[in-house]
C-alpha cells in the first residue's frame, strides 16, 4: 500500500511539473502555442485591430479553436497582436 502511495505521489508531481513547463508564460508564447496548434502562424502585423478580433473570434467559434483557446486567452492574444502591429 505504501509503495502505491509513493508512486501515485511521484506521478502527480511529474504531471504537475510537465504542465508547468508547458504552460505559455508570455502573450507571445501563448499566441505561438495556441495558434500554431492548428496552423502555421500568419503575419498579422498589417491587420487592423478590428480585423484581429474578427480573425480570432472566427477561429474560436467557426473553426473549432474554442477547445484550444479560452476566452481569456483570446483576449490576451488579441492584445499581443495589437502591440506587434506595424505603425
Grid cell locating 73: 486567452
pLDDT of residue 2: 85
Instruction: Give the torsion sign (CA, 7, 12, 13, 17).
Output: positive
pTM attached to this predicted model: 0.68
Asked if 60 contacts 69 with a C-beta cutoff of 8 angstroms, the reply is yes
pLDDT digits (tens, 9 = 90+) for 62-78: 888 888 899 999 999 99
Q: How far apart are CA 50 and CA 52, in angstroms?
A: 5
3-state secondary structure of 70: coil
Mean pLDDT of the chain: 84
- Percent of the chain exceeding pLDDT 90 equals 26
DSSP 80: H
Amino acid at each position: 500500500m505504501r509503495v502505491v502511495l509513493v508512486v501515485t505521489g511521484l506521478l502527480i508531481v511529474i504531471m504537475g511539473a510537465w504542465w508547468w513547463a508547458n504552460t505559455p508564460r508570455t502573450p507571445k508564447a501563448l499566441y505561438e502555442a495556441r495558434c500554431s496548434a492548428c496552423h502555421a502562424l500568419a503575419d498579422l502585423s498589417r491587420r487592423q485591430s478590428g480585423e484581429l478580433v474578427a480573425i480570432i473570434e472566427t477561429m474560436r467559434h467557426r473553426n473549432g479553436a474554442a477547445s484550444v483557446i479560452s476566452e481569456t486567452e483570446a483576449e490576451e492574444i488579441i492584445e499581443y497582436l495589437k502591440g506587434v502591429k506595424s505603425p
